[in-house]
Chains A and B, each alone.
Chain A
Amino acid sequence: MNEIFQGLLEAVGLILSFDRDLVDITLRSLQVSLTAVAIATAIGAPVGSWLAVTRFRGRRQTIAIVNALMGLPPVVVGLFVYVMLSRSGPLGVLGLLFTPTAMIIAQVIIATPLIISISHQGLRELWAQYHDLLISLNTTRWQRMRTLIWDGRRALLTAALAGFGRAVGEVGAIMIVGGNIDQATRVLTTAIALETSKGNFSLAIGLGLVLIALAIAVNMAIHNMLRTERASLW
């Protein structure tokens, strides 16, 4: 209990002092996870809407596989990306291991199934509403997907934010592919793991609180942005 209180003090102290390292790793957390989620949404939203509007043999199985991939342990993803990007691996020549890019790749893999699944669920309901109208209007599959993505953008936002939550709080994969290198690939979660391993629990909890505050700030900022957008669109 004492450690949590200490952590709270530590967090407040860190934020107030505007610690250079803290700003650095916080921005890097944002950079890696927001970039990963933007890419994962760019993949996940079309796939989710494609699954909603298309009937094909094996569709159920595909959805089941996507849902199962949501439970992929990040460590396994990290190991997979490591093996691919290692100098001895197939993509080694790119020299991406232990860079933020490698961390983004890992988080894209982690967040995409989640975003596909949640956006598919939301867009499936919208498709049930729109189905007769869009068939009647002779829309192409591409137009149907685009219409669902645009009109279902709130469902997609929910999906993207869920993906962000999973990405920004993830430590297992980025520890392996990023290496937690000071001033290069250290982010909030890996810093927390590091401080925990040093037994600095209150600092670790302090960083954890910063992470939570960051997640809340991103959620509120994006919701706000959408509200201002809605006023002009509706």
Chain B
Amino acid sequence: MRNLLAGIVALNMVLCPASASDTMRLAVTTSFHNSGLSDVLLPAIAEELAVKVHLLVVGTGQALRLGRNGDVDAVLVHARDAEERFVEAGYGVRRCEIMYNDFVILGPRSDPAKVASTDSAVGAFRAVAEAQERFVSRGDESGTHLRELAIWSQADLDPQDFGSWYSEVGASMGASLNTASGLDAYILADRASWLTFGNKGDLAMLYSGDSSLHNQYAYLRVNPALHPHVKAEPARRLENWLSGPGGKRLIDGYRLNDQPLFTPNASCTG
């Protein structure tokens, strides 16, 4: 008994994280994390900035929520309207666009709704709705979900009116992709998640390239005036680095399966 307790105490001491020079918490979206880019960026950040970044991988909605509560020091998300509201409300210092990639429309290889032959994202969505083919929606207020809703709205369609072919799963990108793969359904996903997804099944990428599928990522520091405990200094250094030449070089050079994934376009407002 005594040995067991001693063992537990020892385990706690061994694994007690040695408080590193500078650590900060960054909430990022699943899509960003799935791209694998963070595996390249984090070691470089640790080396060049002496900042150890702890990543919290969540949906955009939850990421902004964590920022609002002061539970993270900065967020890297992709939902412009929500981000601007975040800064306006004073939760964030300012909004820095860092890079973009794009969303893609996936569906069963046989493509019963003939999405591949449409000429816009809106057209593709209309084709699915007309054919009433099964469509899986994130339904979780994530950046991807918000974008999907925006496209439906451009197509003058309201998911509220859809029949049983439209499934809101209320889950993360990965879980939603697993569902779509199992149901042979259409789904909107970010390119990075799709490329790294391991359970593609019969799904294929059917449409991409439209400007309405543009996926902009932005970095927002949590306002230290509101949350005095946040690691404002490392967060600011990280902002400089991501929007500066160091970040640009790594983002631009990143390849997944020999395909470029992100295009840096740093610009800060506010």
Contact = CB atoms under 8 A, between A and B. Distances in A.
Contact of A197 (B5, B70, B172): B172
A222 interface: yes
A31 B198 CA distance: 31
A164 to B, nearest CB: 11
B71 A87 contact: yes
B199 A201 contact: yes
Interface string B164-185: 0000000011110110010000
B69 A199 contact: no
A229 interface: yes
Interface in A171-206: 179-182, 184, 194, 196-201
A73 interface: no
A88 interface: yes
Contacts of B5: 38
B17 A199 contact: no
A87 B174 contact: no
A158 interface: no
Contacts of A197: 30, 172-175, 178
A222 B4 CA distance: 8
Interface string A136-177: 000000000000000000000000000000000000000000
B11 A87 contact: no
Contacts of A181: 25, 54-56
B196 A198 contact: yes
Interface string B1-33: 101110110011011010000000100001000
A38 B15 CA distance: 17
A106 interface: no
Nearest to B230: A87
Contacts of B178: 196-197, 199
Contacts of A38: 4-5, 8
B18 to A, nearest CB: 11
A52 interface: no
Nearest to B176: A197
Chain A: interface size category: 20 to 34
Contacts of A182: 54-55
A184 B227 contact: no
A40 interface: no
Contacts of B56: 98, 179-181
A194 B193 CA distance: 13
A108 to B, nearest CB: 13
Contacts of B181: 199
A198 B197 contact: yes
Contacts of A229: 1
A13 interface: no
Given A196-B174, A198-B197, A199-B200, A27 B11 contact: yes
A31 B8 CA distance: 7
Given A98-B25, A225-B3, A198 B69 contact: no
A31 B15 contact: yes
A31 B11 contact: yes
A87 B4 contact: no
B37 to A, nearest CB: 14
B70 A35 contact: no
29 contacts: A27-B15, A31-B8, A34-B8, A86-B69, A86-B70, A88-B69, A88-B71, A95-B229, A98-B54, A180-B56, A181-B54, A181-B55, A184-B54, A196-B178, A197-B175, A197-B178, A198-B34, A198-B174, A198-B197, A199-B177, A199-B181, A199-B197, A199-B200, A201-B198, A201-B199, A222-B4, A225-B1, A225-B3, A225-B4
Interface of A: 27-28, 30-31, 34-35, 38, 86-89, 92, 95, 97-98, 100, 179-182, 184, 194, 196-201, 222, 225, 229
